[in-house]
């Protein structure tokens, strides 16, 4: 794919002009400038992405003291580590001496964090333990050179980080999902599989694609055959209402069907998007599998198949679709102006054994194929928008309603950011 580049005339002044035009434009897709501009991308990272709560890892990734896993975002790397006090820390993978990456391996276990360049050594909480021969520097104080850190919240076994030291609380908003998300006992769940799908497109193309199901009926035949979400609400309202009515009895979880929605400009605080709703599967399908039949033991507190699936948003960039027998987490991570990692994680009951209780290929079949379909259409979307002849068209009032909420929040956030210089 040929990637267009920003004009050498790009500037904050031009960004302000483009933002002003977008704010006046109602109900239409974003101008191609917002996908192409290097300046926009850097503003997005600093003012939006790094100030939002983002899923970083599962608690099972760091079960023991010294266990760590890396979370890579943009050009940055963050070490998610369990320290000597059994607390989970998120430390910037940057030595405070000359900036070398400390950890290279994606995951591992260590007693200290040692920079491979000049051997500055850090405790697992990020504090500087030793700096070779730096006692020769008058006034050098190890306390001044701890690793920089991000804020951490753990909820239902899911580890979220926020790079903004002044970020608003996330546990409060997440607590609204106690019944709906708690039904799956994710803290005790097992990560059955994780895959990263690299897409050569701006991160907003990937996120926007997830936020709308206008394309589902045409681009995802297997998904559309199973999930009522691909249709207009009025066409499936009776079926979904019946499912909601039986859900507490069949699943054994009171409140599993409750809806909650506080996202983007309506979120309780910046970057704290939280939503839950349960939508229906078509008759004959009990779960998200190739034949619609169970592929793993029931999750957590779930006692049966109600013909529904829990749909969750957990921050601006992280989502889950939870069936009674397995859960699928999506995360969209910018890795460059025209590079995005679509990370997918499949969870099963913590006691489930691969090859005995579930077949991995059957477990991941639907969402692996759906994600490959997404990768194709997102790339097509990117190539079209990057054309000089692209002119934004209107959003669909129902299917793309959430996408419009994102666009409103995104433009408001950037407008504030450029106002600050």
Domains of the chain, start order: 59-154 (2.102.10.10), 185-404 (3.90.380.10)
Taking each helix axis from N to C terminus, what angle separates 401-419 and 203-210, rounded to the nearest 10 degrees?
150
- State the pTM of this model: 0.95
172: left (phi over 0), alpha (psi -120 to 50) or beta: alpha
Mean per-residue pLDDT for 37-48? Answer: 96
Residue 290 to residue 164: CA distance in whole angstroms: 42
For residue 24, the model assigns a pLDDT of: 87
Contacts 24+ apart (CB under 8 A), 406-411: 406/207, 406/208, 406/211, 406/264, 406/316, 407/29, 407/30, 408/264, 408/265, 409/264, 409/265, 409/316, 410/30, 410/48, 410/204, 411/19, 411/22, 411/23
At 57, which helix (H) or strand (E)?
strand 54-58
Share of the chain above pLDDT 70, in %: 98
CB 162 within 8 A of CB 63: no
pLDDT for residue 6: 57
Indicate the pLDDT class of residue 164, thresholds 50, 70 and 90. Answer: very high
What pLDDT score does 286 carry?
Answer: 98
Within the chain, what is the greatest distance between any pair of CA atoms?
76
Confidence check: pLDDT of 1 > 50: no
Q: What is the pLDDT of residue 163?
A: 97
Mean pLDDT of 122-127: 98
Q: Is the pLDDT of residue 148 over 90?
A: yes
Instruction: Give the sheet arrangement for strand 128-130, strand by strand.
Output: 113-114, 121-122, 128-130
pLDDT digits (tens, 9 = 90+) for 349-393: 999 999 999 999 999 999 999 999 999 999 999 999 999 999 999
Tokens for 269, please give them: 């605080």
Is residue 7 over pLDDT 50? Answer: yes
Sign (positive or negative) of CA dihedral 213, 214, 220, 222: positive
Helix intervals (H) in 227-309: 233-251
Residue with the two structure tokens 């499949």: 346
List pLDDT tens digits, range 69-93.
Answer: 999 999 999 999 999 999 999 999 9
Q: Tell me which H or E stretch contains 314.
A: strand 308-314
- Could you give the CA distance from residue 62 to residue 69 in angstroms, rounded to a whole number? 7
Joined tokens for residue 364: 């991941």
Residue 2 has pLDDT above 50, yes or no: no
**Cα 92 from Cα 112, distance rounded (Å):** 15
In angstroms, how far is the first alpha carbon of the chain from the final one? 33
**Using 50, 70 and 90 to split pLDDT, how confident is the model at 222?**
very high
Indicate if the pLDDT at residue 57 is higher than 60: yes
> If you average pLDDT over residues 323-338, what whole number do you get?
97
Residues of the chain above pLDDT 90, percent: 96
């Amino acid at each position: 794919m040929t990637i267009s580049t920003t004009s050498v005339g790009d500037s904050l002044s031009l960004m302000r002009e483009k933002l002003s035009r977008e704010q006046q434009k109602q109900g239409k897709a974003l101008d191609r400038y917002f996908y192409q501009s290097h300046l926009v991308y850097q503003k997005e990272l600093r003012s939006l992405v790094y100030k939002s709560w983002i899923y970083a890892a599962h608690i099972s990734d760091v079960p023991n003291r010294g266990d760590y896993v890396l979370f890579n975002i943009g050009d940055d790397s963050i070490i998610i580590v369990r320290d000597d006090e059994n607390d989970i820390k998120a430390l910037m993978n940057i030595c405070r001496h000359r900036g070398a990456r400390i950890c290279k391996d994606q995951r591992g276990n260590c007693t200290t964090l040692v920079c491979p360049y000049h051997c500055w050594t850090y405790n697992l909480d990020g504090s500087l333990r030793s700096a070779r021969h730096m006692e020769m520097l008058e006034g050098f104080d190890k306390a001044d050179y701890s690793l920089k850190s991000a804020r951490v919240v753990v909820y239902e076994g899911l580890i979220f980080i926020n790079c903004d030291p002044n970020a608003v609380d996330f546990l409060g908003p997440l607590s609204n999902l106690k019944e709906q998300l708690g039904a799956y006992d994710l803290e005790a769940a097992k990560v059955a599989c994780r895959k990263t799908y690299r897409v050569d497109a701006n991160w907003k193309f990937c996120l926007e694609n997830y936020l709308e199901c206008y394309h589902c009926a045409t681009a995802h035949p297997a998904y559309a055959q199973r999930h009522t979400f691909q249709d207009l609400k009025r066409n499936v309202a009776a079926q979904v209402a019946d499912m909601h009515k039986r859900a507490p009895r069949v699943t054994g979880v009171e409140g599993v069907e409750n809806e909650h929605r506080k996202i983007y400009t309506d979120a309780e605080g910046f970057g704290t998007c939280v939503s839950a709703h349960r939508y229906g599967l078509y008759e004959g399908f009990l779960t998200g599998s190739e034949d619609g039949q169970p592929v793993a033991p029931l999750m957590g507190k779930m006692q049966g198949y109600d013909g529904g699936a829990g749909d969750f948003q957990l921050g601006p960039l992280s989502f889950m679709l939870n069936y009674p027998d397995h859960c699928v987490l999506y995360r969209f991570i910018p890795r460059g102006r025209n590079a995005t990692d679509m990370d997918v994680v499949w969870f099963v009951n913590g006691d489930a054994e691969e090859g005995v209780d579930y077949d991995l290929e059957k477990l991941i079949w639907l969402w692996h194929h759906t994600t490959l379909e997404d990768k194709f259409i997102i790339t097509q979307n990117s190539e079209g928008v990057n054309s000089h002849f692209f002119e934004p068209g209107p959003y669909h009032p129902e299917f793309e309603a959430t996408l419009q909420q994102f666009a409103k929040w995104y433009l408001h956030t950037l407008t504030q950011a450029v106002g600050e210089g």
